[in-house]
Structure 1
C-alpha cells in the first residue's frame, strides 16, 4: 500500500508530484511544481458529481470505473513516463478515491508512489497557516523607478532569501505593470507559490520582500503578508528623478505606445483630465520621459503618503548590500 504523507514530508521527499484532479481544478490553482495528470476530464467530473447527487455514491463509483477503464492502460503508461524512475507523489482534492486509485495502480506495476494526506485541500490549509503568520521581513522600499525589483534580483543572485511578489504575480505592480506580460495566476495560486517559497526559508536569516500595495495587478497580497510588510523594517532606495526615469525607460520604453496610453488613461481620475491628456500626448509624440514625469506625480504622492504612515523609520539605503 502506498504511504500517506503529511504536507511537509510530501513536499520535501524526492519525486514527481501528480495532481490527478480535473484540468479545470489544476488550472485555477495547484501545488507549485505539480504535473497535471487528470483521472477525469472536466466534463467527466461534472457527470460524476451529478450522478452522485441524483443517484448514489455507489452509482458514481461505478460510473467512474466505466470512464477510467478504457483509458487506464494509456494513463498508467503516461504516468510511468513522467515519473521517469522517481517516486510518484499523488494527490487529488481531499486525498480520497482518485489519488488512492492512481497510487495503487502505479504500485501494482512497481512504480513507487505515495499519497498526500488531505489532498490539495490539506495543502491549502497548510499554505494558509503559513501565510497567516509569516516571519518578519526586511522590506525594500523606494519610489517608482528606484530599482527595487532589480535590487531584489541582485540579492537573490548573492544567495539571499527573497520573495519576489511581482515575479510570482507576473505583473510589475502599477497601471503599466501588465503591459507585455503573460497571464496572471489566480490569487489562490499566487498564495500557494508564496507559501511554498516561505516554507523553504531559514527564518533566523533575513527574508527580503518589496514594499507592495494590497494588489499586484489582479493578485491580492495575503493579509498576513501585507501586514508583515507594513510593520517590518525598511531599506529605502533613494534615486534622483533622472536615475528613476532612466530605469523606467529601460524597462518600459520599448513597449507598445497603445499599451502605455491605455495605462495612462486608466489613471485619469487620479491625474486629472488635463494632466492625463498631456501625458498621453507626450507618449504619442515620442517624449517618453516627459510623459512618465507626469505619471510619477500620482505614484510619488501615493507612495510617500503610504510610507509616511509607517511607525518605523526607514533605513536610508543606496546601492546594493
Structure 2
C-alpha cells in the first residue's frame, strides 16, 4: 500500500451534514445495497474528549494492541466506544484509513458499525457502536464476576456469526476483503453474546494492487503460507478461523505459555487428538462439565480440523463452514441421538466424504 495521506479524508462535519453529504473527500461513495445507512461522521478531538470526560480512567473499557478504548456519550446521548490509536503517525494513519474505507463500504449484522473518526492534528481516533459484552477473549477466558460461562449453544452461535461475517467479506463485499489478522480479539459481543467482527486495521482490500509484502498476523493464528510473499488468500482467513473455533471448543488460548511444554500451542496440542480420532471429548472445555451434545462436538471438531490444514487448497470455503456451523446452532440443545443424519448434514455442507 502506498504511503498514507490522511488529507484525503473529508473535513470535519456536523453528523447531520455528514449524512447528507454522503461521505465526500477521499472516502468511497455509497454503493447501493452494499453500504451502511449513513457514512461515518468526522469528529473533533474536543468532541470526543468531552464524550469521555477527558478520557478519564472511569471511562476506560480496555487496552488493545492498537490503542485504548473508552466508553463515551455523544452530545445527542448515544453511547459509543472510542479508540485512541497508538503508534507513530504513519501507523495510526494507515489503521484509520483502512478501517474507515472498509467499514464505510460494509453493512452486515455480524460486523461492527463505525460511527465516525477523528483526524485532528496528529491525533487519530475511531468511534464505533458500543457493544456491552466486550471482546470475545475476555468473555471466553476471563469472564467478569457475575457473567455466566459461555455454554455450548452460545459458542456455536458466536462461531456461526463470525463465519457469516467472513463469508460476507470474501464473497459479497465489494471490494473483496481478506481480514488477514482474524483472532478471538477480532470479535466483539453484543447483548445475548451476538458476535460482530471488529479491528479491520490490518485487513487487505483486494482491489488495491502492488501492496508491498508484509508479514501480518498474530502468533498462533497465522496460516503457514502467510510468511511467503504473494501467498496470502481468503484461505488464510480460514486457518485463523479454525484456530478461533478450537478456542471456543476447548476454552484454551491459541498460545499459552503457562501450559506444560507440548500443550502451549493450541493447534499442535489439538492435532494429536484430531489425528488419532480417539478421546475427542477430552478436547472440550472442562468448565462446560460435559454439558454439550457429543455429536455436535465431533462435528465442530471436524470443521476445525479442515480449516487448520497446512495446505490452503485443502481448506473448505467459508460459505460451507458458515452453513455447517449454522446447522450446529440449530442442534445445540438437541439430544445426541439424531439417527445419524447430523454427520451427513455437516459433511455435505463441507463437501467432505
Report if TM-score (shorter chain) is over 0.5. no
| Structure ID, larger Rg | 1
TM value normalised by structure 1: 0.29
The structure richer in helix per residue is 1
